[in-house]
Chains A and B, each alone.
Chain A
Amino acid sequence: MSKYIPTIGVEVHVELKTNTKIFSNSINGYGEMANSLTNVIDLGYPGTLPTLNKEVLNLAIKAATVLNCKIRREMHFDRKNYFYPDNPKNYQITQSRTPIGYDGYVEVEVNGVKKKIEIEEMHIEEDTCKSTHRGTKTLLDFNRAGVPLIEIVTKPCMNSGEEAKAYLEKLRELLFYTDVSDCKIEEGSMRADANVSIRKNESDPFGTKAEIKNIGSITNVAISINKEIERQTKIYDSGETFKPQTRRYDDKLGDTVLMRVKETGNDYRYFPEPDIPFVYVTDEMIENVVKTIPMLPDERRKVYVEKGVSEVNANKLVQNRALSDYFNELLNENTNLKIASNLLLGDISGYLNKNEKTITETTLTKERFLELINRMEDNTLTSKNLKDILDKILEETVSIEEIIKTSGIENITDDSAIRDVVKSVIAENPGSVEDYKAGHDRAIKYLMGQVMKASKGSANPKIAMDILVEELQ
């Protein structure tokens, strides 16, 4: 156990999933030809003015709602003034005095312990352009300039890399499920910076801060924070101190490296943006946004488990939003959700991965899926047989019953036919029969396997087992 208490605060930038940019009607897109998604506003041309995208406000309200933030009803924007080639106007339009959301939290669980991660504030701002360094030149692509962002700032309330990681995972899940953002860290649509300091006692003032910038993955967040805690511990243990600084995580080194020591605070000369009048958030706007919020991941997990789905499956379903959304359609049906979850996460997922499809791109309507679940439940279709007809089920539109019939794999439910198979298996395996009688339970599984094999998988397993037990007596 370290003798220091680490303190961590996290700032996350998330690109909002809108059609157009925050202050102009050019397309909010990724991966297009350089400088093909811009207009005079994005480029900061003289005489241009910002207009505010309605959807940005809606998505920010949505994010604030799911992050349990209070929502400001009257706000304005501010200018943050700094020169940088990726900042077309050399000021960024942001919200410094009146962030749209404040005093929020998300709940995370680390090693079985629940913790509320407190959110200080959440504000709307514009993204900068993308720069690429080539030798002695830096190349600028303004497609990203003006993409809408929200920045979410926690209080310095976390104590480990694992907590920060859990927070980011939870944040990503929430914002992804609410369509606020696609949260792709690798494409930069979600970017995290962490502030790390350590101190001896809770009552001490916070220690010197190091900021770790632009961490490339959520896993690396935990690693880099823990590495930074280690580094600071060593420094203090050896009686040294360090200056506030900015560091970055180097994936190859597996450690953080110094970017620069922070000089006196930046002089951003904030002042209220005179080009955008006050923005008022009404009850009606909030109500309309709240209506669009789907069942959230935590709720989904809870409901799934309540309806008989295993915890493992519940988690796996929630990790795949398309499957989870599809699964949600079944929640009010009278069906076996455990089987449904097994099917979706098992054979069906296998098919989807292999064919690079999503569940909605298959022909498995809710009605046909319910029919399939019933067939599985009453054992009129075995998993073995399912494998043979799965492609048809997912690609054709006829009923499951029809597919089973025409595939000639109709389940053998005829007792006498199965009994014949069982009898011959018993006759051919005297050793196993002995074992069974001697009390080795495993032997019956072997025999059952032989029965299914001899029937080419077409025997109804439940009936076959009953007959096997009966014949062994």
Chain B
Amino acid sequence: MALVEIDELHLTMTSYDGAAHVLAGVSLSLERGEIWGLVGETGCGKSLTGLTLSRLVASPPARYLSGAVRFDGRDLLAADEETMRDLRGRRIGMIFQDPTTNLNPAFRVGTQMIDVALHAGRVDPSILGLAAGASRGARRRAARDLAVSMLDRVGIVDAARRIDDYPHQFSGGMRQRVLIAMALIGRPDLIIADEPTTALDVSVQAQILALLHRLAAEDGLAILLITHNLGVVAQIASHVAVMYAGAVVEAGDVRAVLKSPRHPYTQALIAALPRADVKRGALAGLPGVVPDLLTPPPGCRFLPRCPIGAADCARAAPGLAPVDTGQRVACFRAERAA
């Protein structure tokens, strides 16, 4: 049984303009030790998919229509807030894009980490290395020690002293390390990293990616890496899922997908990557725009922009189906696209 299973998830967001069908059949499954890259353009629903795993999408305006989200066999869509809180920070850690805004500027780094450690320790006392009935003072001391060792582990030099610094006293890359340490405190099974390197300098990006890669290997973590950057995926992911307009259109082993993409959208994405052997200015652009999710086109949502689409693609939305190179593709004409 997979650690994470998202099965045909449909979700709408209601606004003044009406209900937008923003997730239309998202399917995804992660095993321990796998790093999944979830790629797609802005607004395709990749961040939302990450947030549904922690049930952090406010509802209303969101409404779950159908499908399932399971974590370690547990149905998360049926879970109450208490259950979810026990998972968050303990078994599911999250890392977000901008390390500057994701740490509270008015509190010491240590204060924020210790609160997360105490929460994880409340769910599972063994995380703090204490028995169930330990005193408040003992728990605080253990939480602080744990926070220091985590900072040390993510590569913060002189962690025992730096823990009492304020966020603004760290550089951007160091702040992201602090946030990674915070996400790791509860010894989670799954880390959801939403564009963790987008706000950082290119040189720092590589360090953070290497760190995530190392941690995943050491702890056997599953990582869901949400990004719009296929380059990042190619660097550290073992698997990749491509999303378009609220649905996963292609998913599978990272080498198979990048080397022989079968969905026309994936093909366009890869063709748009700047490459050394292609002349500048020869980037393949995709005609048309992302559909309006308030009134999505019938059938396959990619049809209006698809180079190989046919009239019958508008009858129904294609489901994910395996192709000869191993990955799964949501396209009626995927075999022809080879």
- A, B assembled together: no
Q: Which residues of B contact A (CB under 8 A)?
A: none
